Amino acid sequence: MTESRWWFSPLKIDDAGNELLPSAHRVHEKSEKLNNASAFSIDMRRFFVNKSYDKEEGLFRKHAPEKLKEIFHKAENTNDLLIVSNFQTGTAPIVQRIHYLKKGQKINQIIGDFFKTLVCSFSDFKDKHITLQSQVYDIDQYDDIKEVVDSASSLAGNISVTFPVVAPYVAMGTSVAKGLTGLLDKLNEHDPIIDSNLRLDVADDSTGYQVLQTGHWICFDEPQEEALILKPNMDIYHKEPQDKPFIEGSYAVYSIRKVDYQEPFWEIDQKIAKLLSELDGKGNSSRAPVDFLRDTMEGYTAYRKIQRYYELQSKGNRRTPEEEQLFNKLAQDTTIKPYITTTATQ
């Protein structure tokens, strides 16, 4: 019987639910293949944790009154929960996204009220593959990061929370920014619930790759066997007996849709985070971070030149001598000449 940690479901879910598949080496008939230039988004939809990972074991748990456990927050039915998704396209830097951070999250509850569900969004996918990493941790020594959690909760929609690498560069307090990035840099010091990645490739069927396509991916804390079903509400159930929820393990549900996210400035923020991650030494390419920055600035400079060219062109015979000289110079600039429509001087 097949076992896997990541299971796939096609995008369209039947009323009775879709039986989970241990791989996606072919494009499913209910899904759509994604290629270069495709527009798509990846969202986190659900999370479920079935046990507490609090290390405070022993007599206190067994014999303390429930009220006392609640006061000291050592009840065995909660976690101080952090949910993070990372993504990487090609050899670009890894970008981290915080979805959820909460003290005393009860177990055996479906979680869906994230800061942001969106992991990443592309209006023009240019790479050959994308890697998705799901990281869910129970945070130890919670009081040491209480200020970070409080700030993250109050700034849920802020770029500094949705893209933590940006935190040190925005006005949210140096200590909070350092705490946020420090927490993510030292996740291995906390209790892992889920920490696993999935690579999806722009590839043909039956070539050994997991094919990038629309659909849903479920990441379990432990490898699971067949006979599990994804319901239309995005919860996991056993195939037999029917209508029995799956509670034997923890899991995260992700969806890939063939649409680019329409929230203003989202893709720009995503690119800023990618650039800062590269400068922070998190890129996997052999190029120096300064080269990555140089390419980015060259593109920005070319864009501003094109913008200025069309601005001057629109002035026609109202251009000053200096503007006329600049207009002609821009018209001959080899870095932008392929992208502009030249006209005779008016």
Q: For residue 59, what pLDDT is reported? A: 38
Say if residue 134 is exposed, middle or buried (CB neighbours under 10 Å; 0-12, 13-18, 19+). Answer: buried
Interval 100-122 mean pLDDT? 90
pLDDT score, position 3? 83
Residue 325 pLDDT grade (very low, low, confident, very high; cuts 50, 70, 90): very high
Distance CA 199, CA 88 (A): 9
Highest mean pLDDT among 23-32, 155-164, 237-246, 277-286: 23-32
On the question of pLDDT at 57 being above 50, the answer is no
Q: Does an H or E element contain 322, and which?
A: helix 321-331
Residue 132 has pLDDT above 90, yes or no: yes
Q: Tell me, what's the pLDDT at 341?
A: 78
The predicted pLDDT at position 189 comes to: 85
Check pLDDT > 70 for residue 237.
yes
Q: What is the pLDDT of residue 143?
A: 62
Helix (H, G, I), strand (E, B), or coil: what is residue 171?
coil
Structure tokens of 346? 């008016």
Rounded mean pLDDT of 31-37?
95
pLDDT band, very low/low/confident/very high, at 50 (cuts 50, 70, 90): very high
Q: What is the pLDDT of residue 226?
A: 87
Q: Which two tokens stand for residue 252?
A: 């995260």
Query: Is the model's pLDDT at 168 over the cut of 70?
Result: no
Asked if residue 264 has pLDDT above 70, the reply is: no
pLDDT in tens, 216-225: 999 999 999 8
Predicted confidence at residue 101, as pLDDT, reads 86
Question: 148 pLDDT exceeds 70?
Answer: no
Q: Are 226 and 2 in contact (CB under 8 A)?
A: yes
Q: What's the pTM value of the predicted model, to 2 decimals?
A: 0.77
pLDDT tier, 94 (very low <50, low <70, confident <90, very high otherwise): confident
Residue 180's nearest CA partner among 161, 194, 195, 208 is 161
- Residue type for position 283: G
- Segment (H or E) for 63: helix 59-63
Q: pLDDT tens digits, residue range 63-82?
A: 455 555 454 444 568 998 99
What gap in Å lies between CA 30 and CA 122, rounded to an integer? 22
pLDDT at 212: 98
Query: What pLDDT is recorded for position 140?
Result: 80
CB 9 within 8 Å of CB 18 = yes
Q: What are the boundaries of each domain within the chain? A: 3-266, 289-339
- Enumerate residues 6+ apart whose C-beta is below 8 A from 126: 36, 37, 89
Higher pLDDT, 29 or 103: 29
* Bridge partners for 89 per DSSP: 130
Top-ranked range on mean pLDDT: pick from 150-154, 219-223, 255-259: 219-223
Q: Is 267 helix (H, G, I), strand (E, B) or coil?
A: helix
Where residue 323 falls among pLDDT bands split at 50, 70, 90? very high
313 CB neighbour count, 10 Å cutoff? 18
Q: What is the pLDDT, as a whole number, of residue 346?
A: 46
What is the 8-class DSSP label of residue 339? G
Per DSSP (E only), the strands in the chain are 3-9, 18-19, 40-48, 78-89, 95-106, 110-111, 118-122, 129-138, 191-201, 215-225, 228-230, 236-238, 244-245, 251-257
**Secondary structure of residue 248 in the 3-state scheme:** coil
Spatial CA neighbour of 239 closest among 227, 221, 251, 253: 227
Mean residue pLDDT across the chain: 82
Question: Alpha-carbon distance 175 to 148, whole Å?
Answer: 8
CA 180 to chain centre: 16
- Spell 281-311 as b/e; 16+ CB within 10 A means b: ebbeeeeebeebeeebeeeeeeeebbeebee
Tell whether the model's pLDDT for residue 129 goes beyond 80: yes
